[in-house]
C-alpha cells in the first residue's frame, strides 16, 4: 500500500484484493507453498500457518455458479453453500483449484452435508465441531484440533512443533489487534468512513497471505484514516447501523449498499466477516496450546451453537460501544439457525435497548434490490 494514494483508491484496492490474490496464490503454489482452503471461522488457522501453508477462505459470495450447484443440490438451500459447491464443481475459483486440502467443519446441516459431496471433486477433511460451549465441548474440540494437526502432518509430510504453533498464534493475535484497531475507528460519531469501505478492508485483509505485511498495512491505513478524520475529513452524521447475522461479503453486501444509499452508515459488523471472528484473542499464556485454541475458537458466537450466548453478549457490548441507532439482522435464505435466532436478537434489541430492529432474508441474486431499497429507506426514515 503506497501512502501517497487517496483513501478511496486504497479502499478500492482492498475491494479488489480477492481477485488480485489469484495471481499470488499461483506464485505461492509454484514455489511449493502448501495451500489450505477453509470455510468457517471455527477453523484454527494457526495450525496450517504453523507449517508455513497459505490459508485461503473458500466461502463463495457470488451467484455465478448457483445454477451448476442446483443440478446436484436442492434449490431451497443457503446460497453460500450452493455457490461454494458450484465453484468447486466448475473449477471457476482459483482458490479451490489450487487448494491442496479443503477443510470444513460440522457447523450447519447444509454445510456438513454439502462437504460429503464436495469430496467428489476435492480432497476434503471435515473437523467435528461440538455445538455447545461447555467444558466437554472444549475438551472435544481440543481433541479434534490435535487430530487435524495429524492430518496436516500426514498429508504434507511435515512435523508441526508447539513452538511453531505458538509463533503462529502470536502473529494471528497481532493481526486481530490490527483489525480491531481499524474497525474500532468506527466508534467515532460521525463515522470516519462508510461501512462498505470497512467491509472491503475486512474482506480484503483475509486474502493477504503475508500477515506481517498485512498487519503493517492495517495500522498504516488506520493511522491515515484517523489523521484525515482529525482534519475534519469524514462522512456527514448519519443514523448508525449495526449488522448482525449471516456472512454478507460479496453479493449479499447489497444490504450494506441499500443502507448506505438511503442515508445510513454501517458502523459495525457483528457477523463473521467482522467482530465475531476477530474479537477474542488466543490465550498465549495458556500452557496447553491446544486448549487455548479450542477455547478461543469454540467461543465464536455463531448460530450453529446451541445455546448461543456469546452472540448476545457481544451484541450487548457492541450496541453501546458503537453508539448504534438501529440493528439490521441479515439471514441468508434457508440459513435456518440464523433465521430462527432472529427472534432472540429482536427481543434483545427492542426490549433491552429499545432500539429499532429489522430482519432481512436475502440470497445472492439482484432481483430484490428495489424491495431492499424501499425497506431500508423506510427503516432509516423511521429513525
Partner 1 sequence: MRNIGIDSGSTTTKGVVMEDGRITDYLLLPTSAKPAESIQKIRRSLHAETADRIVATGYGRKLLTEADKKVTEITCHAKGAAWLSPGIQAVIDIGGQDCKAILLDERGQVADFLMNDKCAAGTGRFIEMMMRTLEVPLEEVDTFAAGREPASISSMCTVFAESEIVSLLAKGVEPGDIALGMIHAICRRTAYFARKMKLRGEVFFSGGLARFEIFRVTLEHYLEMPVRTHELAQYAGAIGAALM
Segment interacting with partner 1 (CB under 8 A) among 15-23, 155-163, 299-307, 374-382:
374-382
- By CB under 8 A, tell whether 33 contacts partner 1: no
Report the alpha-carbon distance of residue 35 to residue 98 in Å, rounded.
7
Comparing C-alpha atoms, which of 332, 334, 331 is closest to residue 345?
331
- By CB under 8 A, tell whether 120 contacts partner 1: no
CB of 375 to partner 1, least distance (A): 6
Which three three-digit cell numbers place residue 255?
444490504
- By CB under 8 A, tell whether 365 contacts partner 1: no
- Measured from the CB atom, the residue of 300 and 349 that comes closer to partner 1 is 349
CB of 379 to partner 1, least distance (A): 8
What is the SS3 assignment for 240?
strand
- Measured from the CB atom, the residue of 210 and 370 that comes closer to partner 1 is 370
Q: Where are the alpha helices (DSSP H) in 57-134?
A: 66-69, 79-90, 94-98, 109-118
- By CB under 8 A, tell whether 374 contacts partner 1: yes
Site for partner 1 in 341-360 (CB under 8 A): 356
- Measured from the CB atom, the residue of 217 and 363 that comes closer to partner 1 is 363
- By CB under 8 A, tell whether 370 contacts partner 1: yes
Tell me: cis bond preceding 286? Omega within 30 of 0 counts. Answer: no
Report the alpha-carbon distance of residue 143 to residue 128 in Å, rounded.
10
- Measured from the CB atom, the residue of 211 and 375 that comes closer to partner 1 is 375
- In 10 A of CB 339, how many CB atoms? 19
Beta-sheet strands, E only, within the chain: 35-38, 54-57, 101-105, 124-127, 240-245, 265-269, 326-332, 357-362
CB of 382 to partner 1, least distance (A): 5
CB of 373 to partner 1, least distance (A): 9
Task: Give the residue, chosen from 7, 158, 235, 377, that forms a contact with partner 1 under the rule CB under 8 A.
Answer: 377
CA atoms within 13 A on the CB side of 8: 3
Segment interacting with partner 1 (CB under 8 A) among 62-70, 108-116, 314-322, 363-371:
363-371
- By CB under 8 A, tell whether 306 contacts partner 1: no
Comparing C-alpha atoms, which of 105, 130, 129 is closest to residue 115?
105
Residues in contact with partner 1 by CB under 8 A are 356, 368, 370-371, 374-375, 377-379, 381-382
Amino acid at each position: 500500500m503506497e501512502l501517497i494514494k487517496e483513501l478511496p483508491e486504497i479502499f478500492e484496492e482492498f475491494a479488489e484484493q480477492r481477485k488480485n490474490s489469484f495471481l499470488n496464490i499461483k506464485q505461492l503454489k509454484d514455489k511449493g507453498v502448501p495451500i489450505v482452503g477453509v470455510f468457517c471461522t471455527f477453523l484454527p488457522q494457526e495450525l496450517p500457518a504453523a507449517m508455513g501453508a497459505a490459508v485461503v477462505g473458500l466461502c463463495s459470495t457470488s451467484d455465478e455458479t448457483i445454477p451448476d450447484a442446483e443440478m446436484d443440490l436442492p434449490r431451497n438451500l443457503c446460497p453460500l453453500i450452493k455457490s461454494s459447491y458450484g465453484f468447486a464443481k466448475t473449477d471457476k475459483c482459483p482458490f479451490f483449484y489450487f487448494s491442496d486440502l479443503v477443510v470444513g467443519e460440522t457447523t450447519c446441516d447444509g454445510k456438513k452435508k454439502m462437504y460429503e459431496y464436495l469430496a467428489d471433486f476435492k480432497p476434503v477433511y471435515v473437523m467435528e465441531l461440538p455445538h455447545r460451549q461447555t467444558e466437554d465441548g472444549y475438551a472435544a474440540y481440543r481433541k479434534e484440533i490435535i487430530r487435524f494437526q495429524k492430518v496436516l502432518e500426514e498429508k504434507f509430510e511435515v512435523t508441526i512443533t508447539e513452538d511453531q504453533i505458538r509463533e503462529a498464534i502470536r502473529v494471528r493475535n497481532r493481526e486481530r489487534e490490527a483489525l480491531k484497531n481499524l474497525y474500532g475507528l468506527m466508534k467515532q460519531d460521525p463515522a470516519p468512513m462508510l461501512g462498505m469501505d470497512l467491509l472491503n478492508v475486512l474482506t480484503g485483509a483475509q486474502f493477504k497471505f503475508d500477515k506481517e505485511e498485512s498487519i503493517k498495512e492495517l495500522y498504516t491505513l488506520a493511522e491515515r484514516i484517523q489523521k484525515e478524520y482529525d482534519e475534519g475529513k469524514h462522512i456527514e452524521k448519519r443514523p448508525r447501523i449495526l449488522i448482525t447475522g449471516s456472512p454478507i461479503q460479496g453479493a449479499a453486501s447489497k444490504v450494506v449498499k441499500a443502507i448506505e444509499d438511503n442515508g445510513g452508515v454501517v458502523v459495525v459488523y457483528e457477523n463473521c466477516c467482522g467482530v465475531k471472528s476477530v474479537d477474542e484473542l488466543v490465550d498465549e499464556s495458556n500452557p496447553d496450546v491446544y486448549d487455548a485454541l479450542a477455547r478461543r475458537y469454540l467461543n465464536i458466537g455463531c448460530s450453529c451453537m446451541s445455546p448461543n450466548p456469546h452472540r448476545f453478549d457481544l451484541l450487548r457490548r457492541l450496541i453501546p460501544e458503537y453508539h448504534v441507532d438501529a440493528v439490521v439482522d441479515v439471514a441468508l435464505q434457508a440459513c435456518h439457525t440464523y433465521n430462527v435466532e432472529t427472534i432472540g436478537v429482536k427481543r434483545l434489541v427492542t426490549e433491552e435497548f429499545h432500539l429499532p430492529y429489522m430482519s432481512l432474508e436475502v440470497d445472492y441474486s439482484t432481483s430484490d434490490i428495489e424491495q431492499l431499497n424501499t425497506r431500508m429507506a423506510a427503516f432509516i426514515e423511521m429513525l
